[in-house]
Structure 1
Amino acid sequence: MAKSKTEDHIALFIDCDNISHRSIEGIINELSKYGIVNIRQAYGNWTKDNLKNWEDKLLEFAIKPIQQFDYSKNKNATDILMTIDAIDLLHTKDIDAFAFATSDSDFTPVVMRVQAEGIRVYGFGEKKTPKPFMAACSQFIFTEQLMKIEAAKVLDTNDNTRTIDVQQTPLKKSGKEMRQDTWLVNVLRTALEQTMDEDGWANLAAIGQYINNSTSFSPINFGYKKMSNLINEIDLFDIYLDPDTKQMSIRDKRFY
């Protein structure tokens, strides 16, 4: 008799030509919130010197390296192999979610194909990642933010003699900066409008679910671990915290 799964199984595909080795710890930690990352595959031409920094990370995080030679100049055979393997896995394994670590928009079609099967796709890439790929993912997180989070852990646990690059310290968007972000404000207000009751209140969990279903938004990209922290800081909404359930509800300040 087969055992029932208690946690989601996640397959992670890493495009090592387009992602920094320094981001992998943050990626694994983030995905572990949602399930077991039981398939971890990293793609690249491992004969090249520019991938040498990945070797220790492959061992540390039990990632399987997949070799792909460059068959011709200016053609990335790695992308094609990674796409083929992802589609094969889609039809042969019981996978609950896929994750793609890349800043390359060429993976947009495969992400859309996986989504068409009703499977969530987590995307990770640099801020330069083209918008079509980010939008195709169920959730997309900037690797720069993840590296800052990991750097902050080092600051908290190491002694003061260790030097940390100031560029790696956490950067939270202020309330003013977020209020000036038209896309973010529209995402939050639209989600509120679609989930609120007749008095204008909406449960934050319902808002989060609506946003997850309709956008690739993540509060991490703005420097916040939780949606509730971002809501508190952006200061656009009245907030009510239920004393019994501790659940947060919000409503638009403009109308009350």
Structure 2
Amino acid sequence: MDDRMRIALLIDADNAPAAKIDVVLAELARHGIANVRRAYGNWKSPNMQKWEQALHPNAIQPIQQFALSTGKNASDMAMVVDAMDLLHSGRFDAFAIVSSDADFTPLAMRLRAQNMRVFGFGEKKTPEPFVNACSTFLYIDEQPAGTKAAGEATDASAPLPPMPTAKLRQDTKLVNLLREAVEAEKEDDGWSSLSGVGQNINNRASFDQRNYGYVKLSALIEATELFETRRNGLHVFVRAKPKKTAKPNIEAKQG
């Protein structure tokens, strides 16, 4: 019996770059198999030419949606309706939504309420509500598109240039997330297991260390220089460095 995660891939072709489809598919291949792959848009539009070229090589089914009225996106509605049909079919363990449109925030939240894992993919311009609604979100416009020979898989884990320590520490949201997760998983000896920290972060927020240029969570944590790490075989443990306190300036009394 095939026990790989079954994933439904739904692409908002109006709001996603066709050039990064290999990044999306390679990432999903790490988790399971995308046995449904659909891309939604008005395929009569000249703006869809790049997506048209990506359909057949990647076994993606185009779903035609005409622009029925100005200012309304029929593709979004079609994606939501299909997602609900696929959800209630009971055939899937997870959904992947490729879009930079915040309108899919309620959909992601609804799917997660049904214990579905939701992989989000979009550009850096994607509004935070949609990013946070997904289980994990990968900024595909910042991921290098891999090159592949026929029959070879693309490596979606190729890192971006790592974000420097100073910039990481300026990201208050990231620093607080790491600190709170390490504190929550702390054992009696003051150390937290990295696996527990990673699980805690995933339970709190949509997070992927590759968005900061690091393939491994341990590398990101070490790069902040706010934590100590130690290794015991294959297991990694982490704890916060003690905060430095300023030494009192004691002036000698003059007699």
Same fold (TM over 0.5): yes
* 1:186 paired residue number: 176
Q: Which amino acid aligns with 1:238?
A: E
The share of aligned pairs that are identical, in percent, is 44
Distance 1:55 1:12 in 2: 17
Which residue of the other structure, out of 20, 25, 28, is the alignment partner of 1:23? Answer: 20
Q: Tell me which residue corresponds to 1:53.
A: 50
Aligned counterpart, 1:247? 235
Other-structure match for 1:166? none
Is 1:64 equivalent to 2:61 in the alignment?
Answer: yes
Report Cα offsets for 1:132-180 as digits up to 9, x if no partner. Answer: 111111111111122x2x2xx45x99xxxxxxxxxxx933211221111
Distance 2:50 2:243 in 1: 54
- Unpaired segments ≥5 residues, structure 1: 158-168
1:58-79 per-position Cα deviation (integer Å, ceiling 9, x unaligned): 1111111111111111110000
Alignment-derived partner of residue 118 in structure 1: 115
How far apart, in 2, do the equivalents of 1:222 and 1:198 lie? 31
Task: Note the C-alpha offset of 1:199.
Answer: 2.2
Query: What is the one-letter code of the residue matched to 2:206?
Result: S
- Of the three residues 91, 101, 106, the one matched with 1:104 is 101
Give the aligned residue type for 1:194: A
Deviation digits for residues 202-237 of structure 1 (CA, Å, limit 9, x no counterpart): 110111011111100100110112212212222211
Task: Tell me how far apart the structure 1 counterparts of residues 53 and 83 of structure 2 sit (CA, whole Å).
Answer: 24
Distance 1:200 1:57 in 2: 51
TM-score scaled by structure 1?
0.88
Query: Is the 8 Å Cα contact of residues 222 and 228 (structure 2) preserved in structure 1?
Result: no
**In the alignment, is residue 201 of structure 1 matched against residue 198 of structure 2?**
no
Q: Which has the higher helix share?
A: 1
Which of the pair has more CA radius of gyration?
Answer: 2
Contact kept in structure 1, 2:160 and 2:212, CA below 8 Å? no
Partner of 2:76, secondary structure, is helix
Regions of 4+ moved over 6 Å: none
Superposition deviation, residue 196 in structure 1: 0.9
Residue identity matched to 2:139: F
Give yes or no for contact 1:145–1:220 (8 Å, CA) kept in 2.
no
Secondary structure of 2:36's counterpart equals strand
CA deviation digits over 1:62-98, x for unaligned, max 9? 1111111111111100000000000110001321111
Gaps of 5+ in 2: 150-158, 245-255
Q: Distance in 1 between matches of 2:115 and 2:228?
A: 35
What amino acid is the match of 1:254? P
Q: Structure 2 CA distance, aligned partners of 1:200 and 1:255?
A: 15
